[in-house]
Amino acid sequence: MMLTSFDNFSFVKILSFLKAHRSEFLSGQDMSDILKISRVAVWKDIKKIRSLGYKIESKQNIGYRLVDSSKLPLPWEIKEDLNTEFLGNRIYYFNTIDTTQNFAMNIASKKNEDGSVVISKKQTGGKGRMNRKWKSPVGGIWMSIIIHPKFDITYATLVPIATSLAICIAIEKTLKINTKLKWPNDVTVKGKKVAGVLINASMISNQIENMVLGIGINFKINPDELKNSIKKTPNFYGVATLVKKNQSMSPLVKQFLYELENVLQLINSGQIKKIINGWTKRSSTIGRNVSIITNEGRISGKAIRIDNEGGLIISKGKKTDRVLVGDVKE
């Protein structure tokens, strides 16, 4: 099942009516007359709305009343009051998909997909950095965002840093939870991972044609179940959930898109220091003795800073090393 923000679904129109009249019942006949569809079509649309997690009260010979909204990050819920210029202009939602990243990469080159968001209730083949398997159950926010960057290719490696910073700020503002950033792009709570970033880029003639930012957030998941399925993953250090009670995912998604657009605009305008400072302020890596696992071997020392391209600078005595790709063991 695919739902979008741009298709003209009749059930979304009925949902809009119900939202606008939350305190009263709307008769099936009235909605039938207004939308010029049959009573049977109204009933089918109400059934569809309920299947998406909305609670609707019905009374015979009176009508329908919306009692509670869906907690899912549905396209029209994200679009409502979304305060961005281009991110989220087009939104695709799936009940189940192999990976949102694959779908996004297949459409990323189209001009009208700049800023598009692909989101799924669950993924069957979720991947993390270095092609590692990542469990993506119901209760998480699994999405990919397409951008057609205007910035120089030298800043491509800064995008994961900027994206993880945007996630961190969005969580802080929306859920009032204190988060930390572990280099290169993990978001943690009390030392356990709650979110991560995966970036795929398409290059043409040494320029970035498009980038697909893959985001995974453990919004309301069972940490023990997730831990059991991925604990053998290299450099696994624990997982956590952001919330334990049912609540809507859409406010966090909307805030993240807003914060992401802000950090991308900082890159576009060359205000890199603001990103570096924001990331460093929240970092659990900087200032600590670390061991970095890279393809070339292990590098150990004190993490002193990240540079303008997101590289981690490691100090060991009078010598410094720069690492762009690797896993931190603190």
Question: What is the average pLDDT score of the chain?
Answer: 92
Q: Which residues belong to CATH 1.10.10.10 in the chain?
A: 2-68
Mean pLDDT of 220-224: 87
What is residue 130's predicted lDDT score, i.e. its pLDDT? 55
* Domain range 289-329, its CATH number among 2.30.30, 1.10.1060, 2.60.40, 1.10.3210: 2.30.30
- The DSSP symbol for 170 reads H
What is residue 329's predicted lDDT score, i.e. its pLDDT? 79
Task: Look at residue 313 and tell me whether its pLDDT is greater than 60.
Answer: yes
How confident is the model over 143-168, as pLDDT tens digits? 999 999 989 899 999 999 999 999 99
> What fold is seen in the domain 75-281?
BirA Bifunctional Protein; domain 2 (3.30.930)
What SS3 string covers 182-249? ECCCEEEECCEEEEEEEEEEEEECCEEEEEEEEEEECCCCCHHHHHHHHCCCCCCCCECCCCCCCCCC
Question: What is residue 146's three-state secondary structure?
Answer: strand
| Span of 10-14, 203-207, 289-293 with lowest mean pLDDT | 203-207
Q: Which residues belong to CATH 3.30.930.10 in the chain?
A: 75-281
Task: Look at residue 286 and tell me whether its pLDDT is greater than 80.
Answer: yes
The predicted model scores a pTM of: 0.94
Burial zone of 293 (CB within 10 Å; 0-12 exposed, 13-18 middle, 19+ buried): middle
199 touches 215 (CB < 8 A): no
Q: Rounded distance, CA 139 to CA 218, Å?
A: 7
What is residue 71's predicted lDDT score, i.e. its pLDDT? 97
What is residue 295's predicted lDDT score, i.e. its pLDDT? 84
Task: Look at residue 305 and tell me whether its pLDDT is greater than 70.
Answer: yes
Which residues are 294's β-sheet partners? 297
Q: Rounded distance, CA 215 to CA 169, Å?
A: 14
Q: Which residues belong to CATH 2.30.30 in the chain?
A: 289-329
| Span of 43-47, 95-99, 220-224, 319-323 with lowest mean pLDDT | 220-224
Task: Look at residue 207 and tell me whether its pLDDT is greater than 80.
Answer: yes
Task: Look at residue 133 and tell me whether its pLDDT is greater than 70.
Answer: no
93 touches 119 (CB < 8 A): yes
Mean pLDDT of 96-110: 96
Please tell me the CATH code under which domain 2-68 is placed: 1.10.10.10
